[in-house]
Structure 1
């Protein structure tokens, strides 16, 4: 049965990694013949996926534990999971809805705004927690051997669990403003699934980048805030397109922005006045494409540096 160098004192890592010469080359051949390999080496991609699947229980338990502990020191506890996006929405309503009077051109502005803020919060928090997945858990990474992708995936799952709680508040607000369940509400499930895959992929990318450059975590709030403002969370990209104030190329880029795509899909699913004419062309293809590219690309990008996490 194959074993690692950590399981045998016949051959050391230093011996195997010296330049090939004489006895060292013979020892390398002996080690390979008996199935020894360098401890901590990156597994193949299929093997890595298998290791992650075998640890799915740990991923789910880690996500749930982090969710429970997130507001454990606050008196209101888990209520803050709902209150945080609601308070943000209240601030944006005062600025954009009242002071800038954006709401005059948008029917059902409060449901429009609340939906946008909740969906955006799901993406932004997933990415922010991803930046701290490795750098914030170095003790765990250095002490135990497990596929490191477990950490960003568990944190992305934590944000999905948190969103499930927040959706209860979102539905209650929609009821208060005359939005009641329709068949289109079923479209929220695939839209959120695609968004969750996209979020997890970007979180994996950010986890690798921040593992080597922790300062990225300090930069991300500014980048995310800029991304939010161009994603139509508080204003309508469609109304801007009809105004003719920007070139068609800029409007196309705004509409194809992945955050805007997932916000549009959720508004279409939950708000009756947000009709199909307000959606960008091929919106479901865009949503699926962004999810596939981000998750597959992010997963492979993270896996390629698997053996480097926790070093230095």
Structure 2
């Protein structure tokens, strides 16, 4: 005796769904549609980033004041260790501003990567409950770090203004941070996808970024050191391809008079190239796994 479903030819759920125009909720949308949907969720990204910032300091007695204290304390530690004990400040004018600019720029990328690598894993319940572009989560983490970077940069501008005076070149900080933000979005999307499927990445990243820290000319003038060591020209060009070194260099050019005379070659061109390469590659790489996030 056949059932009613069999008599009407609707025993196959997939065929029934297709006949009524239904599709999988986890189906990856086309790249253009995905981008438009992501743009439509921009208010969520901003709100989520604000909520994370508030939650981060809510339990601290000094609250959001730690947004200013944290970079100052980090800079003080590095100044003591490298500037005083190792003598890297010798020969560099306004070493405090020189050091702070390097630390702030590097920390912006470092924290975007490390925090973003956990952005999906820490929000699995949200991902499995609601349908939305998963890229909103790592983007909110980058926006959260950008807010911290703007606070740090405001502090740096005060220091440079008091020591070197105000200069029209400061306006170049705006495109410099814009390019770095593009780069940060790209690499954060890459590590967000990798961190979702390879949980050990979050444990490995601190060692990778620490090595990157020491190779990026944060505590010393990279062009000056290479020139003093009579390094071949190709060595300088290879080291200047480091994206963090390029972003640090263009920020220092904008803020410090002394650094205008001692700069990495083609830093602006390298910064622009890395920004677009990272953003496009990272966005496409993340999108290609959109239908797999939250499974398992």
TM-score, L = length of structure 2? 0.92
Q: Report SS of the residue matched to 1:297.
A: helix
Instruction: State the alpha-carbon separation in 1 of the partners of residues 83 and 126 from structure 2.
Output: 45
The answer to whether the 8 Å contact 1:127/1:199 transfers is yes
**What are the equivalent positions in structure 2 for 1:123-202 lying under 5 Å apart?**
123-176=109-162, 178-202=163-187
CA distance 1:31–1:139, change in 2 (3 Å):
closer
1:134-193 deviation line (CA, Å, top 9, x unaligned): 0111111111110000000111011111211222221222234x1222110000000000
Instruction: State the alpha-carbon separation in 2 of the partners of residues 80 and 246 from structure 1.
Output: 41
**What are the equivalent positions in structure 2 for 1:91-102 lying under 5 Å apart?**
91-102=77-88
Deviation at 1:280, TM superposition (A): 2.2
TM-score, L = length of structure 1? 0.88
The answer to whether the 8 Å contact 1:40/1:307 transfers is yes
Instruction: State the alpha-carbon separation in 2 of the partners of residues 226 and 168 from structure 1.
Output: 27
39, 60, 77: which one pairs with 2:63?
77
Deviation at 1:245, TM superposition (A): 5.3
Determine the structure 2 residue equivalent to 1:219: 204
**What are the equivalent positions in structure 2 for 1:1-312 lying under 5 Å apart?**
15-16=13-14, 27=15, 31-32=17-18, 34-176=20-162, 178-244=163-229, 246-275=231-260, 277-312=261-296
How large is the Cα RMSD of the aligned pairs?
A: 1.6
In structure 1, the gaps of 5 or more residues are 1-9, 17-26
CA distance 1:11–1:179, change in 2 (3 Å):
farther
Moved more, 164-173 or 216-225: 164-173
The answer to whether the 8 Å contact 2:28/2:290 transfers is yes
The answer to whether the 8 Å contact 1:62/1:154 transfers is yes
Q: How many residues align?
A: 287
Instruction: State the alpha-carbon separation in 2 of the partners of residues 281 and 132 from structure 1.
Output: 35
Deviation at 1:93, TM superposition (A): 1.0
Moved more, 249-258 or 199-208: 249-258
Q: Report SS of the residue matched to 1:37.
A: coil
In structure 2, the gaps of 5 or more residues are 1-9
Q: Report SS of the residue matched to 2:90.
A: helix
Instruction: State the alpha-carbon separation in 2 of the partners of residues 169 and 40 from structure 1.
Output: 44
The answer to whether the 8 Å contact 2:160/2:166 transfers is no
Instruction: State the alpha-carbon separation in 2 of the partners of residues 162 and 73 from structure 1.
Output: 18
